[in-house]
Amino acid sequence: MASTRADLRRDMVNADREEEAVKNDSIMSYETVKYFNAESYEFGRYRKAIRSFQAAEKKVTWGMNDMNIYQALVFTFGILTMLMIAAVEVTLNLRSIGDFVVMISYLAQLQGPLQFFGSFYRTVQQAMISGERLLELFKIKPSVVDQPGVVALRECRGHIRWTNVQFSYLQERTALHDISFDCLPGTTTAFVGESGGGKSTIFRLMFRYYNCANGKIEIDGHDVKDLTIDSVRRHIGVVPQDTLLFNETIMYNLKYANPSVSDEEVYEACRAASIHDRIVSFANGYNTKVGDRGARLSGGEKQRVAIARTILKNPKIIMLDEATSALDSETEQHIQAKLIRGGSLGQDRTLLIIAHRLSTITHADQIIVLHAGSVIEKGTHTELLALRGRYASMWESQSQAEQAAVAARTATAHAQKLLRMAHLQNPTHQARASETNSEGYRSLTSSTLLGAAGPSTPLQESIHNSDTSSDDDN
């Protein structure tokens, strides 16, 4: 019965863990739930998890009550049997009445300890079952640990060298194949390529989340496997694409990188990251709570907080993983000019940048193009354009996309201006024009876009002449 109750308790603990996982998952992903109108589905999923937990809890409760009943019955029948035997012996003058009273006293004193040991056993059993998952975690050994005899990296100049590095998450698929490059101190190296090409894996290996299978990763001539993990990470700063913040104040999150910095140093770092004025505009300023994982801040604000936090850490090697992807063009250019090119972040530091917008890394000392985990091109922006390879193709595609976006904005403004002119010249047809506004807008936009790509048509020439004449009148 004790073994059966242990299995029932284990099922209840697993059901409770599953119910908590469903609840937390739904709450943390509430935006996705709202996007797809899946509230009823999540309610049903959580209701199912609760019912599973309640069914398991019911079995545990019934099992515990049955155990208590059986224990009470066994103890009661045992005492009754002993009392009957003692009463018969007293009747036959085999024992005295005093012996009978002593036996009753012993049995009364024995009942308490027996019940205590039964309750104590159940408590220990429940605790062991509840802690099984924790004990399993303790058995898991980390794959990246300091080897015996390693030394700490006391000083770092930022010289990085990769030599024939190979790595794979799974044996059947290689993530990085024969990667070699050299980053001199104070230089900027950018990694570009399609998604899944191995860019983020390079950052993970640099930060010692994993060890490479073959090859060598060196910092200032030292193999990272011969250095302590903590000392390597102290000299590396990371600005991730998805910044996670603690549910604390902005000041707490900023000082997390270096608790010893002063408030003035924090303000200066925030000014360099173009976030100081925004923080000051909040009601509580730097004491504003950011919410769970920084939910009360926008994506761009979280990225700028991450940049300021990295500045406060003051590392020699900085890795930027699409660090300005959530910023508008003006703020991005300001940060690029002031931090990376200007000096606050990039001066005397080795920068490793992952970028999808190639316009943000044209200043890099070397650009490494990755494809399927291999280096296929390497050089400066000018050198890679001259090669007319994959990087040049990516640059041309993005340039055409930017030109198309500019043409679209110009066409939109042009069409809206013509529609306003038509409304002013034909007020009696304003209602009819408003009904067909969307369709006419698309036609004018398409005509203008075609004009940007090929020879102009008479209609486009007339539109252009009308626009020019109206500008002259104005």
| CATH code of the domain in which 27 resides | 1.20.1560.10
Q: What's the rounded Cα separation, in Å, for the pair 199 and 88? A: 90
- With respect to residue 150, please indicate whether it lies within any of the assigned structural domains: no
Decide which of 389, 423, 444 is a domain's last residue. Answer: 389
- Same structural domain for residues 360 and 442? no
- Same structural domain for residues 118 and 54? yes
- With respect to residue 155, please indicate whether it lies within any of the assigned structural domains: no
- Give the CATH number of the domain where residue 189 resides: 3.40.50.300
The count of C-alpha atoms lying within 13 angstroms of the C-alpha of 78, restricted to the half-sphere facing its C-beta, is: 11
Q: What's the rounded Cα separation, in Å, for the pair 435 and 438? A: 8
Q: Are 167 and 205 in contact (CB under 8 A)?
A: yes
Average pLDDT of the chain is 81
Q: Can you tell me the mean pLDDT for 112-121?
A: 78
- Same structural domain for residues 385 and 415? no
Decide which of 352, 372, 389 is a domain's last residue. Answer: 389
- Same structural domain for residues 379 and 400? no
- Same structural domain for residues 423 and 358? no
**Is the pTM for the entire model greater than 0.85?**
no
- With respect to residue 147, please indicate whether it lies within any of the assigned structural domains: no
Domain that holds residue 370: 160-389
How many domains is the chain partitioned into structurally?
3
- Same structural domain for residues 423 and 374? no
Contacts of 246 (CB under 8 A, 6+ apart): 252, 253, 256, 290
Q: Which residue, among 289, 288, 355, has the nearest Cα to 321 in the 3D structure?
A: 355
Between 1 and 436, name the one with better pLDDT.
1
- Same structural domain for residues 267 and 383? yes
- What pairing do the DSSP bridges indicate for beta strands 222-223 and 236-239? unpaired
- With respect to residue 413, please indicate whether it lies within any of the assigned structural domains: yes
pLDDT category at 227 given cuts 50, 70, 90 is very high
- Same structural domain for residues 255 and 303? yes
- Taking only the tens place, the pLDDT of each residue in 87-111 is 888 888 888 888 888 888 887 787 7
Between 103 and 461, name the one with better pLDDT.
103
- Taking only the tens place, the pLDDT of each residue in 131-149 is 888 888 888 888 888 888 8
The phi, psi pair for 370, rounded to 5°, reads: -105, 145
DSSP, residue by residue, 32-65: HHHHTT-HHHHHHHHHHHHHHHHHHHHHHHHHHH
- Same structural domain for residues 340 and 402? no
- With respect to residue 67, please indicate whether it lies within any of the assigned structural domains: yes
- Taking only the tens place, the pLDDT of each residue in 334-368 is 666 666 555 555 567 888 988 888 887 888 899 99
Decide which of 370, 389, 408 is a domain's last residue. Answer: 389
- With respect to residue 164, please indicate whether it lies within any of the assigned structural domains: yes
The count of C-alpha atoms lying within 13 angstroms of the C-alpha of 157, restricted to the half-sphere facing its C-beta, is: 10
- Same structural domain for residues 65 and 191? no
- With respect to residue 143, please indicate whether it lies within any of the assigned structural domains: no
- With respect to residue 321, please indicate whether it lies within any of the assigned structural domains: yes
pLDDT category at 46 given cuts 50, 70, 90 is very high
- Same structural domain for residues 382 and 420? no
- Same structural domain for residues 369 and 238? yes
